[in-house]
Amino acid sequence: MIITEKAFVRSPLTSRVTERLIRNPANLANRISGYRPFYTGIATAFGIDRPTNEERFSFLHEQVFPLLIRPENKYALDILTDKLPLFSHMSASSACRVYPLGLVVDNTLSGKGMFSTELIASLPQDVQDHLTKEHPCYGNAYGLPEELCANDMQNIVIPIRIKSTYRWLDIGTAPKTGGSPTLNALKSMLPDNFEFDGVDLAFPIFEIIDGEIARSEYVDDTFNFREWASINGVNYLNANIPDYDIRSRSVFSGKTYDFVSVCMTMYQLASSSPFEISLFSSRNISGQNGAQFTLQTRICREQVESIDNMLNLLNIGGVLFLDPCFTLHEDSVSHYYMTEMFFAIQRTGRDTYTLYDNCPIPFVSQRRGVRYVKVLSVLTTALFRNYPGLRKEAKRILTLCDAADMIHYRNQRWNKCIYFYEEDLAARIANRSIGLEELFRCYLSCVPNYGGSDSELKRRIIQEVSSIEHRTSEPFFASLIARFFGK
């Protein structure tokens, strides 16, 4: 039985489901898989901050559920029953998503290139560890041999005005107990002259203090969200109020910001059907080459209006860091486009903007979540079923996959992120219409063929893959047998 948002209504059924789930300690993993929206909702309502959903759910089991079943806390159960629909779609938020963003801004304010590594050593230790050990742009995430490492990140300098105070707005900030993990991370990375606002539709209503359930700082005495709350020096604004709803034309009337960020939130702003549009065609937005930048894409009206409003919020010289993570609802099917990269759009004049389209800022969505760049390894493993001879070189092939994923990750572009080719290539593998070399060529087509170490590494990887495919190819009849009988 899957609990959906429609099931979260104030009713005896929901109370019974709630009580049964929190009283039964057995088989936590199976219960989570069947009731994920339920667990996500309660974890968010209690402001639990853990790197992954699984860790959040385990904390619920160990710390929260034993408190919820106490008779004196029945009021909390009733409130949860009423408000869970607000929370059931909100997953774990990971501060590591903004670590590269904070470094880019630090570099920019110091007059350094966006992807300079000089300042990493001055950042908090947790940030250093992530960037140097887990991030594909700053470290060797898979321990690749030196000959398979390269880095052609463009060190463009964004011209930021020197000011006594900078103001930053984060949209969809995912606040937890103690504030938003992403804004807390940025606050720890950037100078003291930064002021932060975060806006969201839902906030924690409870927190655990000294082993007891308590009302959070985000809600009033009746457990309704406050219009705003200040926590650890950051202002949190309630987007249920039109003045703070980024979809509203009157949003933040009279306020402007030097930096606006939106990460893995755009898909939540869609409520209408998508349509074909030349994005940015109504704005004077230039790419890095100075030419007008437009992009033919499918997008929802609310998403277009939200991007427009974000651009209007920028001071002259201000920068929007936009993660174009869209969900399109068509024919009762939701298509979720994950990008995991920011694009910087700077307001250069009253009606002019520059989009740094050739140097997106990749991020990793979760700590220890190495899944994010294993796209080619998964595809290639599926290819082994079509061409069993490749298994003789599996170890080396998968190492080459990791190297290819790294340079692909660094050479993503708008509408061509690391997941862009996945569906098409998987279909071609299933149809047995692609081999190993062609798979690598298609996957690395976003990497330039000339100039720079990434291009040279691409050439060497494809050359070695071609050699492997040639020497492991099977005789014609053996190939036919494998193809038709799966041997």
User: Where are the domains positioned within the chain?
Assistant: 5-86, 95-201+239-362, 374-485
- Give the whole-angstrom CA distance, residue 136 versus residue 139: 6
Q: What is the pTM of this model?
A: 0.85
User: What is the token pair recorded at 462?
Assistant: 């494809």
Strand partners, 334: 329
Residues in the chain where the model's pLDDT stays below 50:
1-14, 25-32, 329-335, 369-371, 475-477, 480, 487
318, 248 contact by CB (below 8 A):
no
Q: Could you read off the pLDDT of 280-304 as tens digits, one per residue?
A: 777 888 888 888 887 777 777 788 8
User: What is the token pair recorded at 419?
Assistant: 């997941």
**Predicted local distance difference test score (pLDDT) of residue 412:** 82
Rg of the Cα trace of the chain?
24
- Give the whole-angstrom CA distance, residue 386 versus residue 435: 9
- Give the whole-angstrom CA distance, residue 459 versus residue 444: 10
86, 9 contact by CB (below 8 A):
no
**Predicted local distance difference test score (pLDDT) of residue 19:** 56
Nearest to 409 by CA among 381, 443, 380, 456: 443
- Give the whole-angstrom CA distance, residue 366 versus residue 383: 28
- Give the whole-angstrom CA distance, residue 338 versus residue 346: 23
454, 447 contact by CB (below 8 A):
yes
Cα(first)–Cα(last) distance of the chain, in Å? 38
**Predicted local distance difference test score (pLDDT) of residue 197:** 97
**Predicted local distance difference test score (pLDDT) of residue 368:** 53
131, 139 contact by CB (below 8 A):
yes
User: What is the token pair recorded at 162?
Assistant: 């020197």
169, 257 contact by CB (below 8 A):
yes
Q: Could you read off the pLDDT of 26-85 as tens digits, one per residue?
A: 444 444 455 677 788 888 899 998 877 778 888 888 899 889 888 999 899 888 878 877
**Predicted local distance difference test score (pLDDT) of residue 132:** 87
Residue 205, CA distances (Å) to 197, 214, 356, 451 in order: 19, 9, 39, 54
Provide the mean pLDDT of the chain: 82
Nearest to 262 by CA among 278, 240, 241, 239: 239
